[in-house]
Each structure stands twice: as structure tokens, then as C-alpha cells.
């Protein structure tokens, strides 16, 4: 019995120094998670024409004059194409003759009515017939006007679709013209941005390749709330306060649109990219340092994208918490750390 107690004391004496061994402290660099108020995302964009129209004849016929070509500048009211008017002119003459004849008949009937040689009913019938003849005559004059296509605004011919002496049908596109001055920018937005586009706090900036150091403010013009394919949602912006004497912005210019949106989650924070570590088991994590200088693994949800070397965390870390930014793969749960500059 005495021997057993002696052995127990010796075992206890040998194990006691091990329990006193100093806890290993890991030196780490840390950064404070900062509340994110806005997210900036960039998208490739292209200017589009403010005014663009495809022009066509309302009647069919043979083209006898096409005085414009692709790239030509045109003025409002300028003739762009003409049909052979001979058939329509014959219709106009026939309608005019009918109208004049009915007008003469009515005048004779009115004189006869003064002498009671004709009834009032007959006069009213002639008045109705004259109204119909006048309408047919005016319609024929409109058809004569429709043998010519004129420019509805100053612009540039983007494309012609027919040739001279070609027979065309009514409604067939003849020429397309565009306004050479553009204040419209188009880009494609992803699904997670659509709900934020029309928020009053969302801002847009446009930077052109031609003037890389100058950014232009823009406002939302229109956007599609549905997408027929998986490529995104078309968005149109309108540039504001453009100095046209300095910046000649025309359709087809390449640019970059920056969309500055308020983060949907008010608890969103931003941390350095180096704070994120991904174990083999999957997921994204950070090490959060508590008030006792011990680290705890915290799973986080990222909003995607890297902003100046930092990432946005929309769930998992609160503003003001300290996260480890260097040596994240060397730590263990509840390990004590020493924060260095």
C-alpha cells in the first residue's frame, strides 16, 4: 500500500510541470470590419441613338428616286425617297373631277330649290354625295404626299434597304435614320441589381474610353423588368449636364457604367480579401478576435466581387469586430493571439 501511494505521488509530480507549460500565442495582423453603405459595380456599356426611326411608304410602288446613302447627313424635311407618282396622280385627277361634278350638281339643285322646282330631300342627298366626293379627293391628295419620304428630324442615314427602280410594298422599310447626338447609354444588368435600379439613392456614373479621366452623371431612363434569355436585363441611362461644345458624344461610343447602390442589408460590412479563408470542407470563413484576444471561426456570406482589395460580407460579421487578415490558415479555434501592427 505504501509503495502504491509513492508511485502515485511520483506520477503527480511528473505531470504537474506539463500542465504549467505556457500557452502558445500566435502573432497576427487584424483589421476592423467597417459598415458598408454603398456598393460600386462597373459594367461595359455603349451609347445608343436618342432618336432613331425606320421609314417606309404607306403605299406600294416603284422607287424612282433615292438621293441618300449610308452615313449621309440630312436635314428635317429633306426628301429621302420617292415613288413613281403617275398612278396616284391619275387617282387624284379622277377624284378631283368627281368632286367638281358633285359640287356643280349641288349648286344647280340649290338654285332650283329657290324656285321650289326640287325638294329639300334631293338637295340634302346631293350634299351628302358631295361630302363623300370631297373626302375621296382629299384622301387621294394624301396618297400623293405618301409617294415621298421626308426626314422627320436632323440626323444621319444609318442604312438604306432598297435600290432605285425597285418595287416595294406598303410598310416595307426603305431607310433608317438616327440622331447623331447621343445622351443615351445602354448596358445589361444582372438579376440582383434590377430591384435597386429605380431606388432614389442609386447613382450612376459613366466614363468614356475617349475621355478616361472624366466621369459623367446619369439618371435612369428605362429598364426591362423581365428577361427573355439568361443574358441579363437591358438598362438605358440618360446623361445629364453634358457640355456639347467640349464632348461630342455620338451613338456607338464605348464606355463604362458605374452603378453605386445602397447595400440591401444594413448590417453589411467590408473586410480585406486576405481575411477570408476557405477550408477543404467548403464555405467562406473569417477569424474574429474577441475581447480576450482569442479567435473564433465565423462562417460568412459574401455578396461577390472585389472592391479595391476588399470584399463585402452581408452576413456573419458585425461592424466594429476585429478580424484576422494575415496567417488565417495557421490558427485554431479559441487560440490566443497577439495583434501586431
Range 97-108 average pLDDT? 88
- Are both 60 and 166 inside the same structural domain? yes
- Are both 185 and 248 inside the same structural domain? yes
Structural domain contains residue 45: yes
Q: How many residues does the chain have?
A: 341
Structural domain contains residue 5: no
Among 95-109, 188-202, 211-225, 275-289, which is the least confidently predicted range?
A: 188-202
- Are both 187 and 250 inside the same structural domain? yes
Structural domain contains residue 7: no
Q: What is the pLDDT of residues 211-239, one digit of tens each?
A: 989 999 999 999 888 776 667 889 999 99
- Are both 174 and 59 inside the same structural domain? yes
Does pLDDT of 7 surpass 50?
Answer: no
d(CA 341, CA 336): 17
| pLDDT at residue 314, as a whole number | 79
- Are both 65 and 168 inside the same structural domain? yes
Q: CA-based angle 151:156:238, to the nearest 5?
A: 100
- Are both 174 and 187 inside the same structural domain? no
Structural domain contains residue 1: no
Q: How many domains does the chain have?
A: 4
Identify the band that residue 305 occupies on the pLDDT scale cut at 50, 70 and 90: low
| pLDDT at residue 311, as a whole number | 86
- Are both 170 and 120 inside the same structural domain? no
Structural domain contains residue 297: yes
Here the CATH number for the domain that contains residue 112 is 1.10.287.470
- Are both 157 and 171 inside the same structural domain? yes
Closest CA to 84 of 18, 151, 201, 168: 168
| pLDDT at residue 304, as a whole number | 63
Structural domain of residue 114, as residue ranges? 85-146
CA Rg value for the chain: 40
- Are both 301 and 288 inside the same structural domain? yes
Q: Grid coordinates representing 271? A: 473586410
- Are both 237 and 189 inside the same structural domain? yes
Asked if 68 contacts 74 with a C-beta cutoff of 8 angstroms, the reply is yes
Asked if 302 contacts 69 with a C-beta cutoff of 8 angstroms, the reply is no
Here the CATH number for the domain that contains residue 274 is 2.40.420.20
Q: What is the pLDDT of residues 150-175, one digit of tens each?
A: 999 888 999 999 999 999 999 999 99
Strand order through the sheet with 79-83 = 148-150, 79-83, 61-65, 167-168
| pLDDT at residue 22, as a whole number | 61
Structural domain contains residue 296: yes
- Are both 274 and 319 inside the same structural domain? yes
Structural domain contains residue 64: yes
Identify the band that residue 245 occupies on the pLDDT scale cut at 50, 70 and 90: confident
Here the CATH number for the domain that contains residue 70 is 2.40.50.100
Which helix (H) or strand (E) segment holds residue 259: the answer is: strand 254-262
Task: Report DSSP letters for 199-215, one per residue.
Answer: -TT-EEEEEETTSTT-E
d(CA 31, CA 325): 6
Q: What is the pLDDT of residues 44-70, one digit of tens each?
A: 999 998 888 999 999 899 999 999 999
Here the CATH number for the domain that contains residue 205 is 2.40.30.170
What's this model's pTM, rounded to 2 decimal places? 0.51
| pLDDT at residue 9, as a whole number | 45
| pLDDT at residue 17, as a whole number | 46
Does pLDDT of 195 surpass 70?
Answer: yes
d(CA 227, CA 231): 8
Percent of the chain with pLDDT over 90: 40
d(CA 163, CA 66): 7
Using a 10 angstrom Cβ sphere, with 0-12 exposed, 13-18 middle and 19 or more buried, the burial of residue 12 is exposed
Amino acid at each position: 500500500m505504501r509503495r502504491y501511494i509513492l508511485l502515485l505521488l511520483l506520477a503527480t509530480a511528473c505531470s504537474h510541470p506539463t500542465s504549467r507549460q505556457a500557452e502558445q500565442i500566435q502573432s497576427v495582423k487584424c483589421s476592423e470590419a467597417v459598415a458598408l453603405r454603398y456598393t460600386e459595380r462597373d459594367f461595359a456599356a455603349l451609347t445608343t441613338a436618342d432618336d432613331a426611326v425606320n421609314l417606309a411608304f404607306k403605299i406600294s410602288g416603284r422607287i424612282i428616286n433615292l438621293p441618300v446613302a449610308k452615313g449621309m447627313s440630312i436635314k428635317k424635311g429633306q426628301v429621302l425617297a420617292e415613288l413613281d407618282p403617275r398612278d396616284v396622280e391619275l387617282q387624284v385627277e379622277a377624284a378631283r373631277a368627281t368632286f367638281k361634278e358633285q359640287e356643280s350638281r349641288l349648286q344647280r339643285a340649290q338654285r332650283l330649290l329657290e324656285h321650289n322646282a326640287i325638294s329639300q330631300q334631293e338637295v340634302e342627298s346631293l350634299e351628302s354625295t358631295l361630302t363623300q366626293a370631297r373626302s375621296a379627293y382629299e384622301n387621294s391628295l394624301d396618297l400623293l404626299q405618301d409617294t415621298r419620304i421626308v426626314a422627320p428630324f436632323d440626323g444621319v442615314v444609318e442604312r438604306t434597304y432598297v435600290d432605285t427602280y425597285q418595287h416595294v410594298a406598303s410598310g416595307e422599310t426603305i431607310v433608317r435614320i438616327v440622331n447623331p447626338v447621343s445622351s443615351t447609354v445602354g448596358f445589361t444588368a444582372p438579376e440582383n441589381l434590377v430591384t435597386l435600379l429605380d431606388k432614389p439613392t442609386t447613382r450612376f456614373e459613366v466614363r468614356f474610353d475617349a475621355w478616361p479621366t472624366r466621369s459623367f452623371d446619369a439618371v435612369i431612363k428605362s429598364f426591362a423588368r423581365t428577361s427573355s434569355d439568361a443574358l441579363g436585363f437591358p438598362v438605358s441611362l440618360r446623361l445629364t449636364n453634358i457640355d456639347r461644345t467640349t464632348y461630342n458624344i455620338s451613338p456607338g461610343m464605348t464606355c463604362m457604367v458605374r452603378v453605386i447602390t445602397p447595400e440591401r442589408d444594413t448590417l453589411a460590412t467590408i473586410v480585406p480579401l486576405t481575411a477570408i479563408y476557405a477550408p477543404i470542407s467548403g464555405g467562406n470563413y473569417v477569424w474574429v478576435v474577441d475581447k480576450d484576444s482569442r479567435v473564433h471561426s465565423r462562417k460568412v456570406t459574401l455578396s461577390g466581387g472585389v472592391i479595391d482589395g476588399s470584399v463585402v460580407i452581408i452576413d456573419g460579421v458585425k461592424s466594429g469586430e476585429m478580424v484576422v487578415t494575415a496567417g488565417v490558415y495557421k490558427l485554431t479555434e479559441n487560440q490566443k493571439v497577439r495583434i501586431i501592427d
